[in-house]
Chains A and B, each alone.
Chain A
C-alpha cells in the first residue's frame, strides 16, 4: 500500500518538476524555438515520424513512443514538440534519480523509510533542475542520456544481483534506456564496465556476456544505421571533430567540472538573474552556494560508516571530473591538469580522428552529476537520521537551489525557450513546398517571419542577378522555386523582366512562389569551373558548375572546362589537374590554434567569414612563422599557390634551399586566389614557409612539371548532379533506405521478448539436445 502511495507521489512530482522547470512556457501547447533550431512546422504527424526515423534521425529508444504516437496520427507535431520539452530531461530525470537513490539507500543503508523518501526526493529534484539538465535539454538524445543515467547505474547493480537470463535481460533493458546514439552506446558501455570492475565478480561477467545478444537485438537499429551509413557518419563526425574538438581544448576549469558545468556556461550563466525577482542578488553568494552538493558529497563521504558503494560513486565522479578538466587556480597559481588532452592530441593524429567527437569533454560532462548526486543521497540519509540536523539540510537545499534559481525563476531557461507560432500563411506555404518541390527553394523575402522562412523545406542559397540566363543559373544551384513577398520590389522587378523563366504557382497572404521553368532535377554534363563567382557565367544550357575553390574535390576526368575569365595561374592549375597533376598532400597537424600549419578551424572572424562565403571550403590555417617540408620529386617546376586573401595576412614562401618564390596574402577583401609564383628547381627538398603574425589561409600548393601544356580543349566525361543543401551534389541522389533498420529492429525486438518469455522452454530444449548427444 505504501509503495503505491510512493509511486503516485513520484509520478505527481515528476509532472510538477517538468512544469516548474519551464513554467513560463508550460501553457504554450505548440512549437518552442530553441537556441539553434526551428521546428519543421509544415510537416504532418506521419511525415514528422518518418523524418525522425531516417538517418541520422533520432536513435534514442525512449523517444520511440512519441514517434509511434506521431506515426499513427494520435498526436499532432505541436503536441509532440510540447511534451518532449518537459520530458527531456526534466520529467524523466526525476523518477530516474528518485528510484536509483531509493535502490541504493535500501540496499546499502538501514535508514528509516521516510528518511529514504526525503533524501531521494531532494536529490531527484535538484538533479532534474540542475544547470546541466537545462543545458542538455536542447537536444532530446543528450537530455535522455542525462535523465536516465541514474536508472542505468542502479539498474546495472540490480541486474547483476539478479543474475542469469533474467539479470542479463534486465541489464540489456537498462542499457537500452541510455543508448541514445553512438555516443550514448559508448558511455553506457563505460558505466556498465565500471560497475563490473567495482564488483569484480565472475558471475557478473557471465551476466554481462549473456546480456550482449539481448542488447544487440534490442538495439539492432543503431548498429544497422552505423553499418549502412558508416561513411556518412564518419563525415558527420569529421565535421564535428574539426569544429568542436579544438573548441573544447584546454578550456575547462576544474571548479566548473566539479559542478557539472562545461562548455555551455558562457551561453547562459547561472549567475545571471536578469528579469527575475532576484535581479540584484550578489553573484558571489550564488557562486559560493553553488558548491553546496559538491561539498556535501566530498566532505560527507568522510562521515559515512559503510563506504563501499559511496567509494564507487566518489571515484567515478572524481575520475570523470579530473579527465575533462584543464586547469584550476590555487593560491594565485594556475595549475594545469589536461590529463586526457594529450591522449586526444595523440589520437587526433591517427585514423581515430573522425570518431573523437564521441569523447568530447562537452558530452562527458553529461555523466558527472549522477554519481555525485547518488553520493549526496547517501550522505543526506545519514544526516536526516537526526532530527536536529533538519535545519542544516534545509540550508543546504536552499544553497543548492540558488545554483538553479536563475533558470527556474526565469521560467524559460533565461529566454532560451521561446514559444513560436508560425503564422498559418507561412505554414501553408511550407506545406505547398513540401508537397511540390523535389528541388531547392531560394528565399528572398522581406517579412517579419524571416526566421520561419529560412526553415522552409530545401532552402538553399543562390545568386540572384538580373540576367537573361537567370533560370539556367538558378538551376545550377538546383533552385526549383523562388519564394518572395508581395512588397519585395527587387525580386519582383527581376522576375517581371524574365516572364518566360518564372511561373507564379503560389500566391497566398502576401507570399509568392515562382517556379523556375528551367529547373531539371538532374543536370548531366561535364563539370565547369567558375573562376569568377561575382560575374555571370555565359551559359546557354544547364551545366554542372562548381566554384573554383572546389576544383580539386572533383575527379579531373569530369572537368570539362571553365566559365568566366581565367588568369594564367588558374589556367595552369586547371590544365595541370586535367593532365593528372594533383595538388601536394600537405602533412599538417591538428592544432588548437594557428601556431603552425593546421587543418583545424580556429574560431575567429575571418574563419567564420570564409566558411560562410565559401560553403564546403576546407583550408589550412597558419598564424605564426612556420615551415613545412614538401614531398616533391626532383625536377623543374612551375609553382601555383591557392589561398584565401584576408586583411592582414602574411607571406607564403616556397624555397628549395637557395632560391625563394613568395606571395603575400594580404588584401582588403576575403577572396580565393590562384597565384603563379614562378619556376623553381628542386634537387633534394622543397619547403613551404609562412612569415607573418596574423591568420592566413592556404588552400592548395601545386608543383607543376615545367613541360606541361596549357589546354584550350578539355576532354571530359559527363556526370549527373542533383539538388542538395549546398546547391547541387554530383553523382546520383542517395535514396534513403533507412527504414530497413527500423523494420529489422521491430522484428528483433519481438524476438527478444519471445526468447525472454520462452526462456525456460528453450533451456529445457537445450538440455534435451545435450542429453541426446
Chain B
C-alpha cells in the first residue's frame, strides 16, 4: 500500500524527503585479516530542506560493540539525487549519480541490483546496492579489495527501519548510549597492547625475581 503511494508520489516528481525523514541501517564490518567484526547502527535523519534543492541530515553512528555513540554530524546533500543519504529516487534508471556512481546490474523480482566501484589510492572498493521501487536500499554490500587483490574487509548494511517506505515506522535506537569522548588516536592498539598490560606485567615481575634469585645463586655458588 505504502509502496504504491510512494510510487505515485515519486512518479509525480514529489520528493519524499522532508524534515523527520529517516533511514536506519545495521552495519556489519568484517575485517578478514584481523578476523574482527564491528557492528554499528547508522541513523540518518533529515533536519532541514532548503529551496536550492539541498537538504541537511543528521548522521549518528552507534557502536554496538562498545555501546557508545561514535559520532554525530550534519551532512548537506542534494534532494534530487542524494549522494550520501541512503535513498535512490531514480531507482530503475541504468545509472544513478551518487557519490559513487552506480550502474544497473540486474532486475529480478522487483529488486534492482546496482554496482559501483571506487579506487582510493591503491585500494579498490566495490559497492553493491539492492533496492526495490521504494528507493530505499534494503541491503548494501561493500567490499574493500587490497593491493594484492585479496578482500580486506566486507561491509553489509541491512535496512532496519525507514519512514520513507512506511510513514508510521519509527527508528529503533538503543537507549542509554553515551557519546564517546573524543577518542585519542592510539597507535598502539590491538592485542599486543592488551598483552603488554596483562601478561607483560607478569613477565616483567618474573624477570626481576629471576634476576635477583640467579644473581644470589651465582654469588652463593662462587663462595662454595
Which residues does A use to contact B, with CB under 8 Å? 33, 247, 251-256, 261, 263, 265-266, 269-272, 274-275, 283-284, 287-288, 291, 295, 298-299, 302-303, 328-332, 412, 415, 418, 420, 448, 450-451, 454, 593, 603-604, 623, 647-648, 668-669, 693-695
Contact B214 A302 (CB under 8 A): yes
Instruction: Report the minimum CB–CB distance from A611 to chain B (whole Å).
Output: 15
Instruction: Report the minimum CB–CB distance from A33 to chain B (whole Å).
Output: 6
Find A253's partner among B121, B182, B188 (CB 8 Å cutoff): B188
In the complex where A284-B195, A299-B211 touch, is A269 in contact with B121 (Cβ < 8 A)?
no
Question: Please, how many angstroms separate the alpha-carbon atoms of A275 and B119 in the complex?
Answer: 25
Question: Please, how many angstroms separate the alpha-carbon atoms of A316 and B214 in the complex?
Answer: 22
In the complex where A329-B196, A415-B150 touch, is A623 in contact with B182 (Cβ < 8 A)?
yes
B186 at the interface (CB under 8 A from A): yes
Question: Please, how many angstroms separate the alpha-carbon atoms of A604 and B180 in the complex?
Answer: 14
Contact A669 B146 (CB under 8 A): no
Give the B interface residue count (CB, 8 A): 44
Instruction: Report the minimum CB–CB distance from B224 to chain A (whole Å).
Output: 15
A414's closest neighbor in chain B, by CB?
B33
B107 at the interface (CB under 8 A from A): no
A-B pairs with beta carbons under 8 Å apart, 13 shown: A251-B188, A255-B200, A266-B187, A298-B211, A302-B211, A302-B214, A330-B205, A415-B146, A415-B150, A604-B182, A647-B73, A668-B56, A669-B76
Contact B201 A302 (CB under 8 A): no
Find B204's partner among A330, A450, A648 (CB 8 Å cutoff): A330
Which residues of A sit under 8 angstroms from B211, Cβ to Cβ? 298-299, 302
Contact B75 A332 (CB under 8 A): no
Contact A331 B75 (CB under 8 A): no
- Residues B105-140 near A (CB distance < 8 A): 119, 121-122, 124
Contact B119 A269 (CB under 8 A): no
Instruction: Report the minimum CB–CB distance from B185 to chain A (whole Å).
Output: 5
Contact A451 B196 (CB under 8 A): no
A328's closest neighbor in chain B, by CB?
B204
Contact with A along B196-224 (1 / 0, CB 8 A): 11111101110100110011001000000
Given contacts A274-B33, A275-B33, A418-B148, 18 further A-B contacts (CB under 8 A): A254-B204, A256-B196, A266-B187, A266-B189, A271-B192, A272-B33, A274-B32, A287-B199, A288-B203, A299-B211, A299-B214, A303-B214, A330-B201, A330-B205, A451-B119, A451-B122, A451-B147, A668-B74
Which residues of B sit under 8 angstroms from A299, Cβ to Cβ? 207, 210-211, 214
Question: Please, how many angstroms separate the alpha-carbon atoms of A271 and B188 in the complex?
Answer: 13
Question: Please, how many angstroms separate the alpha-carbon atoms of A287 and B124 in the complex?
Answer: 33
Question: Please, how many angstroms separate the alpha-carbon atoms of A307 and B48 in the complex?
Answer: 76
Interface majority SS on A: helix, strand, loop or mixed?
A: loop
Question: Please, how many angstroms separate the alpha-carbon atoms of A191 and B168 in the complex?
Answer: 74
Find A302's partner among B195, B197, B218 (CB 8 Å cutoff): B218
Contact A263 B182 (CB under 8 A): no
Contact A287 B207 (CB under 8 A): no
In the complex where A295-B207, A415-B146, A647-B74 touch, is A256 in contact with B182 (Cβ < 8 A)?
no
Instruction: Report the minimum CB–CB distance from A154 to chain B (whole Å).
Output: 27
Contact B187 A251 (CB under 8 A): yes
Which residues of B sit under 8 angstroms from A448, Cβ to Cβ? 119, 124
Interface majority SS on B: helix, strand, loop or mixed?
A: mixed
Question: Please, how many angstroms separate the alpha-carbon atoms of A342 and B113 in the complex?
Answer: 58
B204's closest neighbor in chain A, by CB?
A330
B184 at the interface (CB under 8 A from A): yes
Instruction: Report the minimum CB–CB distance from A121 to chain B (whole Å).
Output: 27
A693's closest neighbor in chain B, by CB?
B182
Question: Please, how many angstroms separate the alpha-carbon atoms of A647 and B190 in the complex?
Answer: 29
B12 at the interface (CB under 8 A from A): no
Contact A302 B215 (CB under 8 A): yes
In the complex where A274-B35, A303-B214, A647-B73 touch, is A265 in contact with B188 (Cβ < 8 A)?
yes
Which residues of B sit under 8 angstroms from A415, Cβ to Cβ? 33, 146-148, 150
B34 at the interface (CB under 8 A from A): yes
Instruction: Report the minimum CB–CB distance from B214 to chain A (whole Å).
Output: 5
A602's closest neighbor in chain B, by CB?
B185
B1 at the interface (CB under 8 A from A): no
Find A283's partner among B32, B185, B191, B200 (CB 8 Å cutoff): B191
Contact B197 A329 (CB under 8 A): yes
Which residues of A sit under 8 angstroms from B184, Cβ to Cβ? 593
Instruction: Report the minimum CB–CB distance from A278 to chain B (whole Å).
Output: 14
Question: Please, how many angstroms separate the alpha-carbon atoms of A265 and B75 in the complex?
Answer: 35
Which residues of A sit under 8 angstroms from B34, Cβ to Cβ? 272, 274
B15 at the interface (CB under 8 A from A): no
B183's closest neighbor in chain A, by CB?
A604
A265's closest neighbor in chain B, by CB?
B192
Find A269's partner among B150, B191, B198 (CB 8 Å cutoff): B191
B193 at the interface (CB under 8 A from A): yes
Instruction: Report the minimum CB–CB distance from B124 to chain A (whole Å).
Output: 8
Which residues of B sit under 8 angstroms from A669, Cβ to Cβ? 76
Contact A694 B32 (CB under 8 A): no
Contact B205 A604 (CB under 8 A): no
Instruction: Pick the most buried of A266, A284, A331, A332: most chain B CB atoms within 10 A of its CB.
Output: A266
Which residues of A sit under 8 angstroms from B204, Cβ to Cβ? 254-255, 328-330
Which residues of B sit under 8 angstroms from A263, Cβ to Cβ? 187
Contact with A along B70-83 (1 / 0, CB 8 A): 00011110000000
In the complex where A251-B188, A299-B211 touch, is A33 in contact with B201 (Cβ < 8 A)?
no
Which residues of A sit under 8 angstroms from B214, Cβ to Cβ? 299, 302-303
Find B195's partner among A287, A420, A454, A647 (CB 8 Å cutoff): A287
Question: Please, how many angstroms separate the alpha-carbon atoms of A272 and B190 in the complex?
Answer: 10
Instruction: Report the minimum CB–CB distance from B54 to chain A (whole Å).
Output: 11
In the complex where A329-B200, A330-B205, A668-B76 touch, is A269 in contact with B122 (Cβ < 8 A)?
no
Which residues of B sit under 8 angstroms from A668, Cβ to Cβ? 56, 73-76
Which residues of A sit under 8 angstroms from B122, Cβ to Cβ? 33, 451
B117's closest neighbor in chain A, by CB?
A446
In the complex where A331-B205, A415-B150, A668-B76 touch, is A271 in contact with B196 (Cβ < 8 A)?
no
Contact B200 A328 (CB under 8 A): yes
In the complex where A265-B188, A415-B146 touch, is A255 in contact with B196 (Cβ < 8 A)?
yes
Which residues of B sit under 8 angstroms from A695, Cβ to Cβ? 182
Question: Please, how many angstroms separate the alpha-carbon atoms of A269 and B188 in the complex?
Answer: 10
Question: Please, how many angstroms separate the alpha-carbon atoms of A702 and B198 in the complex?
Answer: 52
Question: Please, how many angstroms separate the alpha-carbon atoms of A329 and B203 in the complex?
Answer: 10
B59's closest neighbor in chain A, by CB?
A647
Contact B187 A291 (CB under 8 A): no
Which residues of B sit under 8 angstroms from A291, Cβ to Cβ? 203
Which residues of A sit under 8 angstroms from B192, Cβ to Cβ? 256, 261, 265, 269-271, 287
Instruction: Report the minimum CB–CB distance from B12 to chain A (whole Å).
Output: 30
Question: Please, how many angstroms separate the alpha-carbon atoms of A669 and B76 in the complex?
Answer: 8
Contact B185 A603 (CB under 8 A): yes
Which residues of B sit under 8 angstroms from A254, Cβ to Cβ? 204
Q: Which 6 A-B pairs have the closest CB atoms?
A: A450-B119, A668-B74, A255-B200, A287-B195, A647-B73, A451-B122
Which residues of A sit under 8 angstroms from B187, Cβ to Cβ? 247, 251, 263, 266
Question: Please, how many angstroms separate the alpha-carbon atoms of A246 and B223 in the complex?
Answer: 52
Instruction: Report the minimum CB–CB distance from A326 to chain B (whole Å).
Output: 10
- Residues B55-76 near A (CB distance < 8 A): 56, 73-76
Contact A253 B147 (CB under 8 A): no
Question: Please, how many angstroms separate the alpha-carbon atoms of A418 and B146 in the complex?
Answer: 10
Which residues of B sit under 8 angstroms from A302, Cβ to Cβ? 211, 214-215, 218
Which residues of A sit under 8 angstroms from B32, Cβ to Cβ? 274
Which residues of A sit under 8 angstroms from B119, Cβ to Cβ? 448, 450-451
Contact B147 A418 (CB under 8 A): yes
Question: Please, how many angstroms separate the alpha-carbon atoms of A266 and B185 in the complex?
Answer: 12
- Residues B142-157 near A (CB distance < 8 A): 146-148, 150
Contact B215 A283 (CB under 8 A): no
A412's closest neighbor in chain B, by CB?
B148
Instruction: Report the minimum CB–CB distance from A361 to chain B (whole Å).
Output: 12
Question: Please, how many angstroms separate the alpha-carbon atoms of A623 and B215 in the complex?
Answer: 51
Question: Please, how many angstroms separate the alpha-carbon atoms of A693 and B199 in the complex?
Answer: 36
Which residues of B sit under 8 angstroms from A593, Cβ to Cβ? 184
Contact B190 A329 (CB under 8 A): no
B146's closest neighbor in chain A, by CB?
A415
